[in-house]
Amino acid sequence: QVQLVESGGGVVQPGRSLRLSCAASGFNFRKFGMHWVRQAPGKGLEWVAVIWYDGTKKYYGDSVKGRFTISRDNSKNTLSLQMNSLRAEDTAIYYCARDLVDSDGYSVGFDPWGQGTRVTVSS
Amino acid sequence: NFVLTQPHSVSESPGKTVTFSCTRSSGSIASDRVQWYQQRPGNSPTPVIFEDNQRPSGVPDRFSGSIDTSSNSASLTISGLKTEDEADYYCQSYDSGNWMFGGGTKLTVL
């Protein structure tokens, strides 16, 4: 079955960096776009970043643009998120999610989601 | 970019029907597909509706989605409410390289 397993979360001081990973299995990883979505404690969902199936296109949410970098290794079925210059407001559970495309082949959302990895930015 | 607005919370009794709204602030609700996700406490979100009104396999037909261009909103309806439906529900859409979520509605079944 399709499985997404995030790792790399932890406690980090403001201004420092952290790298998250997502191991994918059960589907042809290189054929799907992949996303990161986060959820701050007690808050709603916020889309973070997307990478095209072949890595040629990447888009970021305004709150992380210039600080976070999404990447993928299709040979290892792995998605990554490099997070630099971390701020307290980046504290959240970070989910990786496979791109959900509509009947015309356009990206519309997310399915499935991993279980998430928790990032806490605090001094 | 537009904003998707959802009511903060809704309460209803088992067996009843509940409808959640998701109102788009600008541009037509029909311009971009709307998805709905269910998030039970402590769990990851899972889609219950995609492409406005399509149910993923495994989602019961008690769940249905629609859009209303007159109110520029999408709706998720759950009929025959069960206690297991108690969760947060998020609408989501896409526009020009941004994937947006509504703020979520907390459903209490009591």
pLDDT per residue of chain B (110 residues) written in tens, 0 to 9: 899 999 999 999 999 999 999 999 999 999 999 999 999 999 999 999 999 999 999 999 999 999 999 999 999 999 999 999 999 999 999 888 899 999 999 999 99
Closest residue in B to A107 (Cα) is B94
Percent of chain A with pLDDT over 70: 100
Whether residue A107 is predicted with pLDDT greater than 90 in this model: the reply is no
Determine the pLDDT at residue B104. 98
Verify whether the Cβ–Cβ distance A95 to B44 is below 8 Å: yes
Mean pLDDT over A68-85 rounds to 98
**Strand order of the sheet with strand A18-25?**
A3-7, A18-25, A78-83, A68-73
Task: Read off the pLDDT band of A115 (50, 70, 90).
Answer: very high
Task: With CA atoms as reference, report the closest residue to A79 among A26, A24, A38.
Answer: A24
Q: What is the 3-state secondary structure (H, E, C) of chain B?
A: CCCEECCCEEEECCCCCEEEEEEECCCCCCCCCCEEEEECCCCCCEEEEECCCECCCCCCCCEEEEEECCCCEEEEEECCCCHHHCEEEEEEEEECCEEEECCCEEEEEC
Verify whether the Cβ–Cβ distance A110 to B94 is below 8 Å: no
Determine the pLDDT at residue A2. 95
d(CA B46, CA B53): 15
From the list A95, A109, A116, the residue facing B92 with the nearest CB is A109
User: Which residue in B53, B99, B106 has the most chain A C-beta atoms within 10 A of its own C-beta, making it the best mutation to test that interface?
Assistant: B99
**Pairs across A and B, CB distance < 8 A:** 69
Verify whether the Cβ–Cβ distance B44 to A35 is below 8 Å: no
Task: Read off the pLDDT band of A104 (50, 70, 90).
Answer: confident
| Contacts (Cβ under 8 Å, ≥6 apart) of A8 | A18, A19, A20, A21, A117
- Cβ proximity of B73 and B19 under 8 Å: no
- Cβ proximity of A86 and A15 under 8 Å: yes
Whether residue A121 is predicted with pLDDT greater than 90 in this model: the reply is yes
A23 close to B (CB below 8 A): no
Mean pLDDT over A43-62 rounds to 96
- For residue A3, the one-letter residue type is Q
Whether residue A101 is predicted with pLDDT greater than 90 in this model: the reply is no
> Which residues 1-60 of B have a C-beta within 8 angstroms of A?
32-33, 35, 37, 39, 44-47, 50-51, 56
Determine the pLDDT at residue B97. 85
- pLDDT, tens digit, for every residue of A15-40? 999 999 999 999 999 999 999 999 99
Determine the pLDDT at residue A26. 97
B83 CA to chain A: closest CA distance, Å?
Answer: 21
- Phi, psi for residue A29 in degrees, rounded to 5: -55, -40
Verify whether the Cβ–Cβ distance B33 to A108 is below 8 Å: yes
Verify whether the Cβ–Cβ distance A110 to B50 is below 8 Å: no
Chain A residues lying within 8 Å of B20, measured CB to CB: none
Verify whether the Cβ–Cβ distance B35 to A115 is below 8 Å: no
